Structure 1
Amino acid sequence: MENITSPFIPNPTCNYSMDLYYHNSPNRSDLNCTPPADYFFYADLYVVLPVIYSVICAVGLTGNTAVIYVILKAPKMKTVTNMFILNLAIADDLFTLVLPINIAEHLLHYWPFGEVLCKIILSIDHYNIFSSIYFLTVMSVDRYLVVLSTVRSKRMPYRTYRAAKIVSLCVWLLVILIVMPFTVFAGVYISPDDSDRKSCVLSFPSPESLWFKASRIYTLILGFAIPVSTICILYTMMLYKLRNMRLNTNAKALDKAKKKVTIMVFIVLAVCLFCWTPFHLSTIVALTTDLRTTPLLIGISYFITSLSYANSCLNPFLYAFLDDSFRKAFKKMLECRPA
């Protein structure tokens, strides 16, 4: 499943095989499209990418597992915001668990794991695109409601840990529904020139290029445009209400604890957008221009994909730096207690 979520569409004028068309993999390009000198560049990628993916996997799996453990074990950590953080960590953990399969496919140059696992892995890979931004959207809605209730000096009896569980379940079901088309079209492609050369790809019906572009637009709208627009509107309204409150009253807009949580959610959101915005912007470029696949373009493509993958391992560090309760819980977890 090498680079399934590659942001760039290769130049269709080049004689690419179907698996390259959907993977943008330099290892599978036609010799007429790739000068021999460029293979030195590809050899570097062959070594560097597994190292990058391995680091993301190790750091992400360790950090997100620690977050899950802390929230589940520490009674004081069972808050509404932490419920959403817990589900975000589970989604990131799920993705980092399948990264070794990405690495294996990259090193082997073919897909040896069968049809069922192809559908599962490709679905999880696409799930990673939607899950983080949707849980952050829900967290932004929650922060807005907290700010609104503080401004109006009202309580929110409906904002409970149980309600957060229900909302989290709804997010999981929504993202599964969104990813379902990718699961349906996922399959193992066998090269007509070599029966041993198998690839885990999105096998769209004809015309393939139109379906592929439609899938990119689908991902761009549902995985970026709608949730990011919602988040921007919420934070704009939030800042507007806080500014007006400071002008009209002498009371503090938020108490210290609520303010810290709001800042933490905002920073986690900003990091997510930093990691994923290049991916979605490159999709726009790929849809509106006809780019020739060059070593530079492929290198940028891999960098953008790696940056989006890296988002799955950054959040635990943000929690540790920005939240005192997380930091204390992490330290307590690492303490060696005597028998």
Structure 2
Amino acid sequence: MQEEATPSSAVTELTLTTDFYPWDDGYTWENLLPELCEKQVVQGFARTYQPAVYLLLLLLGTVGNGLVLLTHTRYRRAHSITDVCLLHLALSDLLLLLTLPFAITDTLQGWSPGTAACKALQGVYALNFYSGFLFLTCISVDRYVAIVRVPAACRLRPRARRNGWLTAGLAWLLALLLALPQFVYGQAEQHQDLRLCRVVFPQGVSRAAQGATNLVQVVLGFALPFLVMVSCYAAVARTLLAARGAQPHRALRVLLALVLVFVALQLPHSLMVLLDAAELLASWELSCAQSRRKDLALLVTGGLAYLRCCLNPLLYAFLGQRFRQELWLLASDAGCVGPLEPRCPGCSSPRQRTLLSTCQDVV
């Protein structure tokens, strides 16, 4: 009698579960329960997509951010908050990209090191994720002050280097505070046949905590930097258009490129993270097919977000005239090219030269 009760009980559970998982979207009897929703398609795509894309991004990002760090430390003495923030932005993006090999290994082979290494990896990723956006925000504000609020910029110029390092330090500190959940709750755990490194919140608050973490990521990773960039660069554009003879068109194109690239690469991932947060906070019940599609979208948009780290050197440094001169000096010192001849911006007034050199320098 006792042996017959167990199968009957199991059938009752499965029958009740069909009320929450209707027969659609390719469902079969094997994936009625959430824990039985197998995602071999997602895992197979991740094992193909992540190694190829992440290795390419790692190569491009390491070269670009490495050149920014090399030229800044060798040829440039920080004259503004932007100079310091560009240096730290390149360092932050480089450290973020260096977590990619561990992510690839985690996807392909599982996580071999222990929980301590997992905490460090998750924390370093979050630290550099948040710090990168904070540095973008600081650069936007400093460009606004330097170009639009010129008298204020002149008053701050003697203390620019000290203010820059203070700003960078505060940005790193805030990013560290935001990354504390990853440092604390990063954990290596067994999942089916793989041991994975992930953030595991305490059971009693897991959905609320993870949803809140995702919301903070969207606010600080997209909403706040986007609003600051649009506000500051719109004011900069108006100032450049009003300054006759300062040849603003190239600088305006770069400003537009900064905003468009940021939106194109960061908005899709932020929307998916926001959807994930809403699902967690509202306790939505997604079908297995919907959950698969969400996971695939998070993988693809995550790759786009990493691409931003590779394009930051191009947009914020490579397009600046001063950086191109420093890059030429680096090639000249290596014996690859001849010495650089000095060039004059060709502006008539000190005001025009200030506007043009400031924009060519950074934006």
Fold similarity call, TM over 0.5: yes
Aligned counterpart, 1:173: 173
Deviates more, 1:179-188 or 1:325-334: 325-334
Matches of 1:199 and 1:271 in 2, distance apart?
32
* Fraction of identical pairs, as percent: 24
Pick aligned residue for 1:219 from 208, 217, 220: 217
Aligned to 1:155: 154
Match of 1:21 in 2: none
Q: 1:325 aligns with which of 322, 325, 328?
A: 322
Find 1:33's aligned residue among 32, 37, 55: 37
Change (3 A) 1:106 1:154: closer
Deviation larger for 117-126 or 198-207:
198-207
CA displacement at 1:183 relative to structure 2: 1.4
In the superposition, relative to structure 1, how do residues 222 and 337 fare at CA in structure 2: closer, same or farther (>3 Å)? closer
**Which one-letter code corresponds to 2:312 in the other structure?**
N
Mapped to 2, the partners of 1:134 and 1:266 lie a distance apart of 20
Return the alpha-carbon distance in structure 1 between the equivalents of residues 172 and 187 of structure 2.
Answer: 23
User: Do 2:146 and 2:153's aligned partners in 1 also have CA atoms closer than 8 Å?
Assistant: no
Whether the 8 Å contact between 1:96 and 1:312 is mirrored in structure 2 is yes
Match of 1:107 in 2: 108
Uncovered stretches (5+) of structure 2, i.e. residues with no partner: 1-19, 22-32, 337-363
Q: TM-score, normalised by structure 1?
A: 0.75
TM-score, normalising length: structure 2: 0.70
SS of structure 2 residue aligned to 1:157 = helix
Are residues 265 and 156 of structure 1, via their aligned partners in 2, closer, same or farther at CA, if it must alter by over 3 Å? farther
What do you get for the CA RMSD once the two structures are aligned?
3.3
- Structure showing greater radius of gyration is 2
1:279 corresponds to which residue?
269
SS at the partner of 2:188? strand
1:303 deviation in Å? 0.7
Matches within 5 A, 1:43-82: 43-75=44-76, 79-82=80-83
Rate the CA distance shift 1:44–1:229 in 2: closer, same or farther, 3 A: closer
Q: Is the 8 A contact 2:272 2:297 kept in 1?
A: no
Q: Is the 8 A contact 2:273 2:298 kept in 1?
A: no
Q: Deviations over 1:260-319 (max 9, x none)?
A: 778656634542332221111112333446443545443322110111111111122335
Alpha-carbon distance in structure 1 between the residues aligned to 2:101 and 2:246? 44
| Equivalent-residue separation in structure 1 for 2:112 and 2:258 (angstroms) | 37
CA contact (8 A) 1:134 1:227 kept: yes
Determine the C-alpha separation between the residues in 2 that align with 1:203 and 1:76.
Answer: 43
> Cα distance 1:204–1:320, how it changes in 2: closer, same or farther (>3 A)?
closer
Structure 1 partner of 2:287: 292
Tell me which amino acid in the other structure corresponds to 1:163: N
Provide the secondary structure at the position in 1 that maps to 2:155: coil
Q: Which has the higher contact order (CA 8 A, sep 6+)?
A: 1
Contact kept, 8 Å, 2:133 with 2:220, in 1: the verdict is no
What's the counterpart of residue 267 of structure 1?
A: 257
Q: Which letter does structure 2 place at the counterpart of 1:273?
A: V
Give the drift of 1:255: 4.7
Is the 2:34–2:288 contact (alpha carbons within 8 Å) kept by the matching residues of 1?
Answer: no
Q: Secondary structure at the match of 2:138?
A: helix
1:208-250 Cα offsets, whole Å, 9 max, x none, are 222221221232233333333333333344455666xx3xxxx
What is the identity, as a one-letter code, of the residue corresponding to 2:231? Answer: I
By how many angstroms is 1:170 displaced? 1.2
CA distance in 2, matches of 1:261, 1:79: 18
Could you say if the C-alpha distance between residues 255 and 49 of structure 1 is closer, same or farther in structure 2, counting changes exceeding 3 Å?
Answer: same
How many residues align? The count is 296
Q: Deviations over 1:39-89 (max 9, x none)?
A: 4x7434312320111111111112111110001111367554222111100
* Distance in 2 (alpha carbons) for counterparts of 1:157 and 1:286: 43
Q: How many Å apart are 1:127 and its aligned residue? A: 2.4
- Structure 1 window deviating more from structure 2 (115-124 vs 310-319): it is 310-319
Local SS of the residue matching 1:155: helix
Tell me what 1:10 maps to.
none
Whether the 8 Å contact between 1:260 and 1:323 is mirrored in structure 2 is no
Extract unaligned runs of 5+ from structure 1.
1-12, 15-28
Quickly say closer, same or farther: Cα 1:58–1:146, change in 2 above 3 A: same
Residues 264 and 323 in structure 1, CA contact (< 8 A), matched pair in contact too: no
Matched to 2:65, the amino acid is: N
Q: Secondary structure at the match of 2:54?
A: helix
- Matching residue's letter, 1:117: A
| Alignment partner of 1:310 out of 283, 295, 307 | 307
User: Partners in 2 of 1:43 and 1:139 — Cα distance?
Assistant: 40
Contact kept? 1:132, 1:272, Cα under 8 Å: no
Cα distance in structure 1, aligned partners of 2:329 and 2:297 = 41
- Structure-2 separation of matches of 1:209 and 1:160: 44
